[in-house]
């Protein structure tokens, strides 16, 4: 991810939770209410209505935005984005673990995004590494309490420190193992000899 330092960046296609403008481009826009209810809020056993609704959704240009809208707003009834409420149930169950970096990037660009817990953690850790203030993080995440932002930054600091410490320990362990193996082995392994046959094989592979 890179820091945005100018105001002339293109507007991301990802829309905020309060932005309904995508609905104007949906194929179901303008359909009679009774027809909408029949197709998209059908009975679970109405296979004909489900099939017809899925056919409409499959050609809709805002299918993904429709699906995300249902997840972000906890709408569990009806068909959204071509997915029935039964099919969408597992998505609702694990929505807080969703990690979509296009959404994380959009949050950094100032969009009003309903971030999952995993996405919020990604934003917070990136903000900590970049040296953000708690006030700036509070603004980006739209937190009501500054103390909450400070707690998130402290947790991010611990997570980054633990990551660096464990990675350093792993590298040290691997280095120690390598030294021990060399000390225990009386035979030195020769370097690969660059024969004409080897060079020809490498050329064929390239």
Together in a domain, 26 and 82: yes
Model confidence pTM above 0.75:
no
Q: Is residue 114 part of a domain?
A: yes
Is 7 inside any structural domain? no
Residue 72 CB neighbour total at 10 angstroms? 16
Dihedral sign of CA atoms 122, 127, 129, 135 in order: negative
Whether 43 is in a domain gets the answer: yes
One domain, residues 114 and 146: yes
Tell me which residue range forms the domain holding 109: 101-160
Residue 88 domain flag? yes
Tell me what pLDDT residue 22 has: 84
When divided into structural domains, the chain yields a total of 2
Are 29 and 80 contained in the same domain?
yes
Q: Are residues 113 and 141 in the same domain?
A: yes
pLDDT string in tens for the chain (206-residue length): 444 444 444 444 444 555 678 889 999 999 999 999 999 998 888 999 999 999 999 999 999 889 988 888 888 899 999 999 889 988 888 877 888 888 788 888 877 777 888 888 888 988 898 899 999 998 888 888 899 899 999 999 888 888 777 766 554 444 444 444 444 444 343 444 445 665 555 455 43
Whether the Cβ atoms of residue 62 and residue 54 lie closer than 8 Å to each other? no
In a domain, residue 37? The reply is yes
Q: Is residue 80 domain-resident?
A: yes
């Amino acid at each position: 991810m890179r820091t945005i330092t100018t105001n002339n960046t293109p507007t991301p296609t990802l829309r905020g939770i309060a932005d309904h403008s995508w609905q104007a481009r949906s194929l179901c826009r303008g359909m009679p209410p009774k027809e909408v209810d029949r197709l998209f809020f059908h009975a679970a056993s109405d296979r004909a209505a489900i099939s017809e609704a899925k056919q409409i959704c499959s050609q809709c240009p805002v299918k993904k935005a429709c699906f995300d809208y249902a997840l972000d707003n906890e709408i569990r009834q009806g068909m959204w984005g071509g997915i029935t409420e039964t099919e969408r149930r597992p998505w609702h169950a694990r929505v807080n673990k969703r990690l979509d970096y296009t959404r994380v990037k959009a949050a950094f660009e100032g969009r009003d995004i309903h971030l999952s817990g995993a996405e919020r953690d990604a934003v917070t850790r990136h903000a900590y590494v970049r040296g953000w203030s708690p006030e700036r993080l509070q603004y980006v995440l739209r937190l009501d309490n500054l103390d909450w932002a400070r707690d998130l930054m402290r947790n991010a600091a611990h997570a980054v420190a633990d990551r660096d410490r464990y990675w350093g320990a792993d590298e040290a362990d691997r280095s120690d193992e390598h030294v021990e193996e060399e000390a225990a082995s009386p035979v030195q392994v020769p370097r690969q000899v660059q024969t004409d046959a080897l060079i020809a094989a490498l050329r064929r592979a390239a």
